[in-house]
Structure 1
């Protein structure tokens, strides 16, 4: 199997494209602005993301992937086509070979849909890769050896947890709780506690600036602008990091419990390896402050975040073919 020309991390919140020799060439939000009246796509990626919550009635900002799965097939295909062309440049004569990753819990039908959309978008060959394996390769773990490695990939729509050995997944779990759920939890909390409606982008800014899942000695604060639920007028309130931690508690607990349950199902030899080697966190969601501590406290296993965690899945997807060649698969 020759190595693929492109690796694509098809994420719920962003799409990353990796090309051999160049690394990550493209990182854009997986959002499409669609004009209902004219029945055509207005903008894709970053340009479309800026339109979320700011568009007139006839233009919709659509996220064609929900929880790591295609929810709008035609739009996903158009979006993939756009990003593939952008990554390959205009002068590409040959159709590329594409490795693309999917969450570990997807059904055969969902897997087929991703494959089909990638072919339609102009691929010559398509390799489908499970997200945790791509994350492990991208994080620099040698998955070809008979040792247990545990990866927790917290993305936008799903969190994938897997124990990997000899190039394959031994035990895994995929839960539909991830970055987007953190944003929604913040939106709900601000509405309940401060009578304030805020949008997705504001919630994301709060999460990135003062979001934490672990108690901190010093609480941070941030001013948040939105619309007053009662008067309907614009209003500014101050939100603290402790409030955000409480708002995210439910999501955090679900992720930590899923990690716990995967450890319970891990064969003893591999569990012993994980105690020695630790747990690796990847994905954009792992950038949220305090995840390492929370998982370490609950499992008693040293937990670290991969370098540049938001990009590791794309890198691993792009390098998957080479790694599998070493295994002789």
Structure 2
């Protein structure tokens, strides 16, 4: 068994679809699905992370795939603790006299009870101290925003479980609006669309691939297509269809319109002193759903502001949490107690 005096401190983005871990001094070392596979009879954990995702839709009835994080918050405390302990051990294997300090990203809209659940799960999994930081703020720090910057920044944080529009200035959120819809909702809508319109049943992993490959709001992408395999709902035989991007527009358009409505609600609460900053700088998109082709351009046209997306928006939050981990005193206001 490995033995050390002090374990390396960690930062965690505990997301609905994935868990990302930053190790102090090394950077992002883990990016895996936040999933577990359980034996339904004795609740034994069979797999966690990437191996668990590979089992979705392929398990017998007595084996279940479980998501311990739903819409950005803990839905099962014990499973979340087990998942955190697994990743903690993966990074700091063996025994440590002094356990790691952990920075955890949390959605801005969660309650005090939900924050306490995140903190307790982290402590029980083996951390000595927990610093919680708003996920949208962490993402902006990961992009390059300074916490001391007095200018207003309009941010769209589009994740798997939730979508948030917030106005940030001077290390804090001035106004925000959140809805419990994100990438997982889009995946389910794709499954429903193909079931109702193409009479084919597909798995959630296939829907996620469709979202990444051909879901687009760009007119130039309307003929983009891919082959989709599933089960025929009429005769139950394996079935393959050719799906075009244009056919999926009805799925993403209502979601995009909801994002625009949220932006207007936040802009209505924006102090006049910060409106000029937004007019000059536009908005920033972060989170994995920011990768949907044409979404930025659609929002730009609707609100007449310029949009910006980082190279890897799905990693912005964990990079920002890592920055906080490296210099926690600079962000001390986020300490949970």
- Residue 202 of structure 2 corresponds to residue 198 of structure 1: yes
When residues 327 and 99 of structure 1 are mapped into structure 2, their CA distance, relative to the original with a 3 A threshold, is: closer
CA contact (8 A) 1:167 1:324 kept: no
Match of 2:37 among 33, 40, 45: 33
Number of the residue aligned with 1:263:
267
CA distance in 1, matches of 2:93, 2:305: 45
In the TM superposition, what are the counterparts of 1:1-329 in structure 2 within 5 Å?
Answer: 5-90=9-94, 92-216=96-220, 218-321=222-325, 325-326=329-330, 329=333
When residues 48 and 210 of structure 1 are mapped into structure 2, their CA distance, relative to the original with a 3 A threshold, is: same
TM-score when normalising by structure 2: 0.92
Deviation at 1:44, TM superposition (A): 0.2
CA contact (8 A) 2:39 2:62 kept: yes
CA distance in 1, matches of 2:168, 2:276: 13
CA contact (8 A) 2:324 2:331 kept: no
CA distance in 1, matches of 2:31, 2:328: 25
CA contact (8 A) 1:144 1:323 kept: no
CA contact (8 A) 1:34 1:43 kept: yes
Please give the per-residue CA displacement for 1:186-227, whole angstroms capped at 9, x wherever unaligned.
111111110111110010111111111343365201111111
* 3-state SS in 2 of match to 1:105: coil
CA contact (8 A) 1:139 1:312 kept: yes
Please give the per-residue CA displacement for 1:34-62, whole angstroms capped at 9, x wherever unaligned.
11123210100000011111101111000
When residues 156 and 328 of structure 1 are mapped into structure 2, their CA distance, relative to the original with a 3 A threshold, is: closer
TM-score when normalising by structure 1: 0.95
When residues 319 and 144 of structure 1 are mapped into structure 2, their CA distance, relative to the original with a 3 A threshold, is: same
CA distance in 2, matches of 1:264, 1:213: 27
When residues 119 and 217 of structure 1 are mapped into structure 2, their CA distance, relative to the original with a 3 A threshold, is: closer
CA distance in 1, matches of 2:190, 2:282: 30
Please give the per-residue CA displacement for 1:84-114, whole angstroms capped at 9, x wherever unaligned.
2212344654210001011111111111111
Which stretches in structure 1 are left out of the alignment for 5+ residues?
none
CA distance in 2, matches of 1:194, 1:327: 51
CA distance in 1, matches of 2:85, 2:331: 32
When residues 31 and 185 of structure 1 are mapped into structure 2, their CA distance, relative to the original with a 3 A threshold, is: same
CA contact (8 A) 1:143 1:164 kept: no
CA distance in 2, matches of 1:154, 1:214: 19
CA distance in 2, matches of 1:72, 1:217: 40
Q: What RMSD over aligned residues (CA atoms) do the two structures have, in Å?
A: 1.6
When residues 144 and 89 of structure 1 are mapped into structure 2, their CA distance, relative to the original with a 3 A threshold, is: farther
Please give the per-residue CA displacement for 1:117-171, whole angstroms capped at 9, x wherever unaligned.
1111111000111111111101111231111011111111011221111101111
When residues 53 and 157 of structure 1 are mapped into structure 2, their CA distance, relative to the original with a 3 A threshold, is: same
Which stretches in structure 2 are left out of the alignment for 5+ residues?
1-7
